[in-house]
Structure 1
Amino acid sequence: MPNKSLRILIADAQHFNRLRIERRFNQLGYFRVAPVQSFDELLPLVEYGCEPLDLVLVNGAMTNGALDLFNFLADNPQVRHGFIFNEQQAPLSPAPGKVQVSQAAVPDLASITQLMSAVDRPLPFVGTVISVR
């Protein structure tokens, strides 16, 4: 069962791409999805948000190489997980970690499902167990 409180941000200049990606998240039961169309819109949400974002998806072509997106997402405490798609410089076998990279122009449902298996892990139970007799 998906964690409906996860905060997801999608950054892509193309409205149609943002809509397709958001609908794929909706298909999986995630509805706290915010789409932005530029890096200028993404930056204040990531840098000045009061809560960390659980997942930030960014089209790698958005910054035109002016910024190292991988390190920006990996080093940012406001980003729990990052996913860069449409990245032409993507390594063929990226190391698992906080940020994943894909050469796909737009992530498909299968890649989003796989991504969410890493992002949406059940939290360990913390509390008191009460025994009823």
Structure 2
Amino acid sequence: MPNKALRIMIADTQHAHRMRLEHLFNQQGYFRIAPVSGLQELLTLVEYGSEPFDLVVVNAGLANGALNLHDFILDNPQLRHAMIYNTPQVGLSSAAVARRPGMHLSTAQLPDLASLASLMERIDPQASELTRPWLRPLRQGHAG
């Protein structure tokens, strides 16, 4: 079972993208989702939130140069994991990603179900073990 307490924020200026991503998370059993349409909304929810977001999925173009999303996410304790999608190929920095294992970058214009499922396997590993029992022996084998 997915951890239904996980807090997820989807940040994209396009309503259709937010709705599509929310639907993909709902298909996986995640319903505690805050869709935001602009940078100011994102900043307000992060700054004044009473508890951290477990995942923020944000379009790289949301900040439009007003803020370095990579640095903001890396340095913010209110954001545990992040996926920045629609990143230009030249903007991918393995050093920034290496500083925080919860940071995921994607050049895809919009993440699909497979990429979000793969991301959620890392964030919510118990859910993937229960919904995909064939993974359980592999994880137990690596545990030592």
Fold match by TM threshold 0.5: yes
Report the counterpart of residue 38 of structure 1 in structure 2: 38
Query: Which consecutive unaligned segments of at least 5 residues does structure 1 have?
Result: 123-133
- 1:13-62 Cα offsets, whole Å, 9 max, x none, are 00000000000000000000110100111101011111000001110001
| Structure 1 consecutive aligned stretches of length 4 or more whose deviation exceeds 6 Å | none
Cα-to-partner distance string for 1:70-128 (whole Å, 9 max, x where unaligned): 11111101001011011112248954712111111111000000110111134xxxxxx
Query: What secondary structure is seen at the aligned counterpart in 2 of 1:104?
Result: coil
AA matched with 1:104: A
Identity among equivalent positions (%) equals 53
**Structure 2: distance between partners of 1:106 and 1:91:** 19
> In the alignment, residue 79 of structure 1 is paired with which amino acid?
L
Of stretches 110-119 and 92-101 in structure 1, the one that deviates more from structure 2 is 92-101
- Counterpart of 1:121 in structure 2: which amino acid? P
Counterparts of 2:111 and 2:66, CA distance in 1? 23
Q: For the aligned residues, what is the CA RMSD? A: 1.6
- Highest Rg: 1 or 2? 1
**Partner Cα distance (1:22, 1:90) in 2:** 25
Q: TM-score, normalised by structure 2?
A: 0.79
Listed as ranges, the gaps of 5+ residues in structure 2 are 127-144
CA distance in 1 between partners of 2:64 and 2:92 (Å): 14
Partner of 2:129: none
Match of 2:18 in 1: 18
| Secondary structure at 1:83 match in 2 | strand
Aligned length: 122
Paired AA for residue 99 in structure 1: M
TM norm structure 1: 0.86
Greater helix fraction, Structure 1 or Structure 2: 2
Counterpart code for 2:103: V
Worse-superposed segment, 91-100 or 55-64: 91-100
